[in-house]
Amino acid sequence: MVRGRKVVLVSSEGDLFEVSYAAAIMSNVIKDQLDDDEDEEIQEIPIPNVRTVVLSKVVKFINYHHVNPMAEIPKPIKTKFEDVVGPWDLDFINTSYEMIFELILAANYLDIKSLLELSSAKISGIIFGRTPDQIRETFGIEQPFTPEEEKFIRDEHEWPEE
């Protein structure tokens, strides 16, 4: 019965997403939660830490990649991000910074390695070659330290100049 078995994922807002068993088990967390009872055609799995809009993207990802395995992303990435991912993945991950970070959290929570790698690689590509100030500006992060605190930290944790 596994072939036609369906899984219903329930977002933190209560919205339902029906996916195939094969797509659902891309998540190791969901795989561990599914009963071994193959007679049950549909199982409902609550995903309390993932909002509807994010779970919708996760479902799109697993629906595509359970039949189209994602190519491995090299580590470290030694070229442009766009050169190491396929067109479908590039289109999928070209979204807001907020969504990318939420996808990282969801992929980590659900233990979907390929989604975590894709979304983390995207952020890596965004910050590569930028200074801390440029990174803070890009992501709207306030400077957490006063100039005196920053100098103290830099002096305490000196890095050799490259």
Read off the CATH number of the domain in which 150 is found: 3.30.710.10
Would 128 be classed as within a structural domain? yes
**Regions of the chain where pLDDT drops below 50:** 1, 162
Q: What is the domain count for the chain? A: 1
pTM for the whole structure:
0.83
Whole-number pLDDT of residue 39: 57
Determine contact, residues 5/38, Cβ cutoff 8 Å: yes
Question: What is the structure's pLDDT at 140?
Answer: 84
Q: Does residue 162 sit within a domain?
A: no
The domain in which residue 134 lies consists of 2-156
Distance CA 12, CA 34 (A): 19
Is 7 a member of any domain? yes
- Does the residue 81 lie in any domain? yes
Query: Which residue in this structure is represented by tokens 């929570």?
Result: 109
Beta bridge partners of 128: none
Q: What is the pLDDT of residue 35?
A: 65
Q: Is residue 161 part of a domain?
A: no
Indicate the angle between helix axes 52-65 and 97-110, nearest 10 degrees.
70
> Tens digits of per-residue pLDDT, 76-107?
888 888 889 999 999 999 999 999 999 999 99
Per residue in 53-63, pLDDT (tens digit) is: 999 999 999 99
d(CA 139, CA 143): 11
